[in-house]
Amino acid sequence: EVQLLESGGGLVRPGGSLRLSCATSGFTFTTTAMNWVRQAPGKGLQWVSGITNSGGKTYYADSVKGRFIISRDNSKNMLYLQMDSLRAEDTGVYYCARESWVPWGQGTLVTVSS
């Protein structure tokens, strides 16, 4: 069974940093591109970042470019999102997702507030 388990969310002040993790199992992680998608409270879905299976290429939404870094550890089947210079508008539930978009994890809540 494919499982994605996000963690690392929490309350952080504007300008602060957080590192999200996504523990994966049940599929061949090393051959799978991955994504992060977020959802602000009461709002729709927004793609944040993607990474190729090798980690050799990364992609970002304009709204997070230069502040967020996506990475992966293929030896541990883990996906990460380092979030720096956080803003109030980064608040939301962050989901990791496979390139197939099946399934989604339960998400981890990031709240940026003073």
Partner 1 sequence: DVVMTQSPLSLPVTLGQPASTSCRSSQSLIHSDGNTYLNWFQQRPGQSPRRLIYKVSKRDSGVPDRFSGSGSGTNFTLRISRVEAEDIGIYYCMQGTHWPPITFGQGTRLEI
Binding residues vs partner 1 (CB under 8 A): 35, 44-47, 50, 59-62, 95, 101-107
Q: What is the biggest distance separating any 2 CA atoms in the chain, rounded to whole angstroms?
A: 40
In the complex, minimum distance from the CB of residue 102 to partner 1, in angstroms, rounded to a whole number: 5
Tell me, what DSSP letter sits at residue 75?
Answer: T
In the complex, minimum distance from the CB of residue 11 to partner 1, in angstroms, rounded to a whole number: 21
Closest CA to 95 of 41, 27, 56, 46: 46
Structure tokens at 91: 């608040």
Nearer to partner 1, 16 or 61 (CB): 61
In the complex, minimum distance from the CB of residue 48 to partner 1, in angstroms, rounded to a whole number: 9
